[in-house]
Amino acid sequence: MEEKSLAEIQREVDAYISQFKEGYFSPLALMARLSEEVGELAREVNHAYGEKPKKPEEADNSVEMELGDILFILNCFANSLHIDLTEAHNKVMNKFNTRDADRWTRISDEP
């Protein structure tokens, strides 16, 4: 399987959505869709790692597919608002690397 950059993923999602007259949903609708997908991920995690087994009639989803759904909706959300996710990621990593630089015990600091 070919690796894709975040920018390539954003372009691929945009090319897909651009085929349709309706285009991107509104930010509020995308937020609702993202929340829905996160709920579906929570359900799958609970089935896979928690105490709640699936019922026989429940769909055979997976954590992987739910994460993929979230990634797709997240890309739609960012694209609809003209947000470069690579840039957003870089800003967040800078924040964590400065603000939280000494918050956690680094593996290299262990005896």
Q: What is the pTM of this model?
A: 0.86
| pLDDT, tens digit, 9 for 90 and up, residues 47-105 | 989 888 888 777 777 999 999 999 999 999 999 999 999 999 999 999 999 998 888 88
Domain regions of the chain by residue span: 6-103
Name, in order, each residue with C-beta under 8 angstroms of 70's C-beta and a sequence gap of 6 or more: 34, 37, 38, 41
Per-residue pLDDT, 1: 82
CATH 1.10.287.1080 fits 6-103, yes or no: yes
Nearest residue to 6 (alpha-carbon basis) of 80, 98, 83, 60: 83
